[in-house]
Amino acid sequence: DAEITQSPRHKITETGRQVTLACHQTWNHNNMFWYRQDLGHGLRLIHYSYGVQDTNKGEVSDGYSVSRSNTEDLPLTLESAASSQTSVYFCASSETRAGATEAFFGQGTRLTVV
């Protein structure tokens, strides 16, 4: 079955370190997204991609970067982790076909920056 998986599920890192969160989907979707989930803020979009070599900033992109070298993967990199980036991160993917644009989510990565 097609799916979207994130790794690691849990990560503890130190302030200032570079961290990369992986996202892999086998849906063959063109669209991929990274959100962070925080109490009181809901889900906020960090970065997104509509295809290979395409990346775009979301509403909370500062301190994060992504790259899209193939259809299946959209890794999220925290260049220099900060305590404010402690959060739960969700990756999602979706189709471009009309009537089927709902997003499918990964199981989340809980990141703690100490």
Residues forming the site for another protein (CB under 8 A): 31, 33, 35, 40-45, 48, 50, 58, 90, 92, 94, 96, 99, 101-108
CB closer to another protein out of 28 and 107 = 107
6/81 with CB nearer another protein: 6
Between 73 and 110, name the residue whose CB sits nearer to another protein.
110
Which among 55, 47, 49 has a CA at the least distance from the CA of 32? 49
Least separation in angstroms between residue 33's CB and another protein is 6
| Structure tokens belonging to residue 59 | 């509403």
State the SS3 of 87-99.
EEEEEEEECCCCC
Report the nearest approach of another protein to the CB of residue 99 (Å).
Answer: 6
| 65 bridge partner residues | 77
CB of 27 to another protein, least distance (A): 13
Strands 104-105 and 87-94 turn out to be antiparallel
Number of H helices, E strands in the chain: 0, 11
Q: Six-digit token pair at 75?
A: 């890794």
Minimum distance, C-beta of residue 14 to another protein, in the bound complex (Å): 26
Question: What 3-state class would DSSP assign to 37?
Answer: strand
Q: Which is nearer to another protein, 15 or 101 (CB)?
A: 101
